[in-house]
Amino acid sequence: MKICVTGGAGFIGSVMVQMLVKNYPEDEIVCLDKLTYAGNLENLKAVENAPNYKFVKGDIADREFIFDLFKKEKFDVIINFAAETHVDRSVEHPEEFIRTNVMGTTTLLDACREFGIKRYHQVSTDEVYGDLPLDRPDLFFDETTPIHASSPYSAAKASADLFVMAYYRTFGVPVTISRCSNNYGQYQFPEKLIPLMISRAEADEALPVYGTGENVRDWLHVEDHCKAIDLIVRKGRVGEIYNIGGHNERTNLQVVKTILDALGKPESLIKYVKDRPGHDRRYAINPTKIETELGWEPTWNFDTGIRQTIQWYIDNEDWWKRILSGEYQDYFKEMYKDRV
């Protein structure tokens, strides 16, 4: 098969690309990424010279580019990770999220329809469901939970999901959707909670925690997430939505204290800051459908996964320091100066 992973230089996408390149040497893997601030080709150093891997720089919302690429490459499968994802940024600049997350998705779907793609997979989020009350630990999101987006980010992702299902119903495009809980692990951009807290704690800087830190998230290791997506693409039923959760609920404050404890840093570094607008209270996934239909289950629990993640950031300090300095954005020019 020829598989195109859009957003493949980002956090989750790069782990997906590495997994596909290594596990399926008979498949051709094309990484398509616009290389905005969150795209980093250094994430893909391990596979950049693999014979079954190729990188293409481009924008999923550029219709002419996408149609030319599909015509040339003749993809079998599209796995769409490409998205603006940071909630805080969506509050400041909603229009960027509409362009990439909605218009980019419909552009890909139009190309899939035109060129007869065998499977289009949309990587979505549990945030499309809104949130759950903190005092009802018995409640979980399942695939029938109504969409109830809280932020411009989740509204854009929910809209994209609706278009994906509309293209399946109206045009017969063979689609699947996955909605995951909060990811963590190697290669996560330092603006996100866990790597942000690790990098700031290492530098003995204040750790900003929204509100009282009681917001709850279900944490899913990125490797478990990618294994689930691979199963859905290869064995999942067309037209279905699959929730992917890690069975690892923690408050934000618990996560921050776990990081401080692992690094031997004092809790006095915690600084409570004004909560962001529309901050969801609790996310919790019921992944029974993917567990029973496809036999998937998470292999990482949070206690072991967070320590592996912390150690990765300690061992790869140069990687995140290059991001914080902006130097990582020079890698494309250095790597591809004689190829483009």
Residue with tokens 């999220």: 97
Contact 170, 319 (CB under 8 A): no
Cβ atoms of 25 and 1 within 8 Å: the answer is: no
Helix (H/G/I), strand (E/B), else coil: 270: strand
How many angstroms separate the CA atoms of 210 and 333, rounded? 37
95 is catalytic: no
Distances (CA, A) of 215 to 250, 272, 275, 282: 8, 13, 10, 6
Q: Which of 59, 126, 224, 280 is catalytic?
A: 126
Cα angle 175-179-184, degrees, rounded to a multiple of 5 = 130
| Phi, psi angles (nearest 5°) of residue 26 | -80, -15
**Does 127 qualify as catalytic in the annotation?**
yes
Residue in 33, 127, 223, 249 annotated catalytic:
127
- 239 conformational bin, left if phi > 0, alpha if psi -120 to 50, beta if neither: left
Q: How deeply is 169 buried, as exposed, middle or buried, from its count of CB atoms within 10 A (0-12, 13-18, 19+)?
A: exposed
- Looking at residue 277, what DSSP letter applies? T
> How many Å apart are CA 242 and CA 76, to the nearest integer?
21
Annotated catalytic residue 153: yes
Compute CA distances 123 → 131, 178, 253, 315, whole Å: 19, 5, 27, 29
153, 184, 242, 283: which is the annotated catalytic residue? 153
**Helical residues (DSSP H) of 94-235, grouped into ranges:** 94-97, 104-115, 152-171, 193-202, 222-235
Q: Write out the E strands in the chain.
A: 2-6, 28-33, 53-57, 77-80, 119-125, 175-180, 182-184, 207-210, 216-221, 240-244, 249-251, 270-273
Active site residues: 126-127, 153
